[in-house]
Structure 1
Amino acid sequence: MGSLTDKVAIVTGGSGGIGSAICKRLAQEGAKVVVHYGGHADSANEIVKKIKTNGGEAVSIQANLSNSDEVMKLFEEAQQQFGGLDILINNAGTGVVGPATEMDEAAFDKVFGLNAKGTFLCMKEAANRLNNNGRIVNISSGLVVRPMPGFSLYCGSKAAIELMGKVLSMELGDRGISVNTVSPGPTKTEMYANSGDDTKAAAERSPFNRLGEPEDIADVVAFVVSEKCQWITGHTFQAGGGYV
């Protein structure tokens, strides 16, 4: 039996690179996984299919995370499907790259609407629904500690969720619920590939001289939601191969 047998997990942005790796990793540990997606139904359904093929349980659910009503429906449907909720992984995110002087209100609303507001709404909903001794993990970025030009909105939104998570960890500790952050460095995903970063230079920032794989991040998340991590909360795990 896996370390997460009979646990129920929601993974937002579960159809993407890091998200899909997290979904599959948690399922390997026995969790029943809700693969959330915003607009990539085919990708989400493919992840569900792979999990079921390997003997796991999973469903895909669509929701606009910047809308509180849709977030509520996501959690309600997850509970209806599996009868409870133990783990929330806030992985969904987006970015707009460019100088701050070129960022307009629409760019701000896009990035903060999903990364910050969406994460907050999910944490709020989870706080009211998680079983005792549950787990919340927010996926941030090493750019919060090691920022680069062109990422002002992305860095700001990720910094916001790290601090919101720290506060929530104080508010939920009496129920045994931990709230932590996993902060990847440069990782081989479509989003990173579109960022325009120099992949060779990024790899050289790590002592391992390579970019991260989505599975590297998923392994850290699996540890953070396990019982082995029950005494750690309000913490940011740097999962960047020494990037920070």
Structure 2
Amino acid sequence: MIETRVAVVLGGSGGIGRAVAERLAGDGMSVMVHYAGNAARADEVVKAITSAGGSAAAARADIADPAQVEQLFTETEQQFGGVDVVVNTAGIMLLSPLTELSLDDFDTMHRTNVRGTFVVSQQAAQRLRRGGALINFSSTVVKLALENYTAYAATKGAVDAMTLILAKELRGRDVTVNAVAPGPTATPLFLDGKPQAVVDHLTAMSPLERLGRPEDIAETVAFLAGPARWVNGQIIYTNGGII
């Protein structure tokens, strides 16, 4: 009997996270859809998956709170029998020149993007079954070095470092650890507050002359979550050729 694989998708209630949850469910995995505050959106994702014949549930947690993240993983194990794939798409982006960004905004991003990734990675390292995969989320902006992205890029640089080192620390576990680094992708997180001229400029940067779509990113995640057992300790730039 082939055991159904189980995925936890952090930030799975919208944007890239929703596309990832639905893609992994379509690949036959049971999916725990994590959300931070919007239960209705998470329920919509669960309904979409189950209506298509998949298996899913939703659970809330503050990803920077170790006790809540531990409970999230416990609920997943109790409901689905284990954890095989962890995808941490949860993140926030606050843009400003370095000299104008408030330390409160910096700390807010750091708490979610860095501490949250650290806390989720700790639980994933303890809970993932053999043959499992942890997939963190970085950003192409770390290499692009765009103005106004200083603090956000710094948080994602920290994600890169954690990902590369944890892959080595899990030696002997048969668990892969990678990060996906999207380029400009048409999600509310990316589009919010940007003038159309900026969006047009970022669109034109890709040789494919379009923004990424959540489904493009989900395809890369599905590769890392399933067949890519020899890809480990890598940052996968999924950006249409911007860099």
Deviation at 1:173, TM superposition (A): 2.8
What is the match of residue 200 of structure 1?
A: 200
1:97 partner SS: coil
5 and 185 in structure 1: CA distance in 2 versus 1, 3 angstrom threshold: farther
Percentage of matched positions with identical amino acids: 39
SS of the counterpart of 2:62? coil
Matches within 5 A, 1:127-142: 127-142=125-140
Q: Where do 1:20-31 residues align within 5 Å?
A: 20-31=18-29
In the TM superposition, 1:138-177 aligns within 5 A as: 138-177=136-175
Distance 1:129 1:185 in 2: 30
Could you tell me how far apart the structure 1 residues matched to 2:133 and 2:143 are? 24
Instruction: Name the counterpart of 1:83.
Output: 81
Q: Structure 1 pair 204/220, CA: closer, same or farther in 2 (3 Å)?
A: same
Aligned length: 240
One-letter amino acid of the counterpart of residue 236, structure 2: F
The worse-fitting range, judged by mean Cα deviation, of 38-47 and 97-106 is: 97-106
State the alpha-carbon separation in 1 of the partners of residues 39 and 151 from structure 2: 27
For structure 2, the 5+ residue unaligned runs are none
- Name the SS for the 1:173 alignment partner: coil
Which residue is 2:63 aligned to? Answer: 65
Structure 2 residue 236 is the aligned partner of structure 1 residue 242: no
Q: By how many angstroms is 1:232 displaced?
A: 1.2
Matched, 1:8 2:25: no
Secondary structure (helix, strand or coil) at the match of 1:49 reads: helix
Structure 2 letter corresponding to 1:28:
G
Q: For the residues of structure 2 that align with 1:144 and 1:28, how far apart are their CA atoms?
A: 31
Q: Which runs of 5+ in 1 are unaligned?
A: none
Deviates more, 1:96-105 or 1:132-141: 96-105
Let me know the Cα RMSD of the aligned residues: 1.2
The structural deviation recorded for 1:153 is 1.4
Name the CA distance, whole Å, in 2 between partners of 1:95 and 1:236: 19
> Normalization by structure 1: what TM-score?
0.96
Partner of 1:189: 187
Counterpart of 1:114 in structure 2 is 112
Provide runs of 4+ in structure 1 moved above 3 Å.
none
Could you say if the C-alpha distance between residues 184 and 195 of structure 1 is closer, same or farther in structure 2, counting changes exceeding 3 Å?
farther
Counterpart Cα distance in 2 of 1:204 and 1:67: 39
Aligned-residue offset at 1:151 = 1.1
Q: How far did residue 147 of structure 1 move?
A: 1.7
More off after superposition, 187-196 vs 163-172: 187-196
1:104 is displaced (CA, Å) by 2.1
Contact 1:115 1:158 in 2 (8 A): yes
What displacement does 1:140 show? 1.1
3-state DSSP of counterpart to 2:210: coil
Partner of 1:51: 49
Mapped partners of 2:171, 2:201: distance in 1: 41
Secondary structure of the 2:206 match is coil
- 99-108 vs 113-122, which deviates more? 99-108
How many Å separate the matches in 1 of 2:193 and 2:141?
13
Shift of 1:105: 2.3
Name the SS of the counterpart of 1:36 in structure 2.
strand
Partner deviation per Cα, 1:25-56 (whole Å, 9 max, x = no partner): 00000000010000111111000000000000
State the alpha-carbon separation in 2 of the partners of residues 243 and 42 from structure 1: 35
Which residue is 1:223 aligned to? 223
Matches of 1:39 and 1:152, distance apart in 2: 27
